[in-house]
């Protein structure tokens, strides 16, 4: 008789332990789904950020290829005006993905080409022959925004630009 009593009590405990294990496994599965969803969002945001940086850099490269030094008038470096708005199709599907606002380039410094030590011109065309040429340093600031995703980034790049005397006199340097 005693043996039957013990067996009857064990059947209820097995059910409770089984239900507890089911709840624990369910909670672990839900937390795994939640963590993987968060990681997927983080990876997507990094991709949008990298695309925005690439779009800003593409717009800066387009700006560098324009003779911007003679187009600009005097500017306030603390509140530069918009130089250009450039649409960038980053994925080559013939739709504008990013609108990049390029602010007016800011001249950091200028010096006569003959005043500069040629050994300090690594990466810059150092064949200085004309004494009226100016070597200038510019900062170009661009902000890329994707209207669909809200991704936005601001990029700055410095460049050296050689200006002849007439360009220098009509520039903002």
Could you tell me how many residues make up the chain? 173
At 137-168, the pLDDT tens digits run 888 999 999 988 888 899 999 988 888 887 77
Query: What b-and-e string marks burial along 65-93, b requiring 16 or more CB atoms within 10 Å of the CB?
Result: eeebbeebeebeeeebeebbebebebeee
Instruction: Provide the pLDDT for residue 109.
Output: 86
Average pLDDT over the chain, rounded to an integer: 80
- Stretch 74-102: mean pLDDT, rounded? 82
- Stretch 11-33: mean pLDDT, rounded? 88
d(CA 161, CA 64) in angstroms, rounded, equals: 9
At 41-81, the pLDDT tens digits run 888 889 889 999 999 999 999 888 887 776 665 566 667 77
Q: What is the largest CA-CA distance in the chain?
A: 116
Q: Where are the domains of the chain?
A: 3-170
- pTM comes to 0.67
Instruction: Provide the pLDDT for residue 7.
Output: 59
């Amino acid at each position: 008789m005693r043996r039957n009593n013990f067996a009857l009590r064990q059947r209820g405990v097995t059910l409770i332990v089984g239900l507890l294990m089911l709840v624990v496994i369910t909670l672990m599965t839900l937390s795994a789904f939640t963590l993987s969803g968060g990681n997927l969002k983080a990876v997507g945001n990094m991709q949008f950020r990298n695309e925005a940086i690439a779009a800003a850099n593409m717009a800066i490269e387009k700006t560098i290829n324009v003779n911007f030094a003679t187009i600009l008038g005097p500017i306030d470096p603390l509140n530069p005006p918009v130089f250009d708005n450039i649409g960038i199709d980053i994925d080559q599907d013939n739709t504008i993905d990013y609108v990049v606002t390029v602010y007016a380039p800011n001249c950091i410094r200028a010096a006569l080409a003959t005043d500069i030590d040629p050994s300090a011109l690594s990466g810059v065309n150092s064949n200085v022959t004309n004494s009226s040429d100016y070597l200038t340093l510019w900062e170009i600031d661009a902000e890329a925004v994707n209207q669909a995703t809200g991704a936005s980034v601001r990029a700055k790049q410095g460049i050296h630009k050689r200006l002849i005397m007439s360009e220098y006199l009509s520039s903002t340097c």
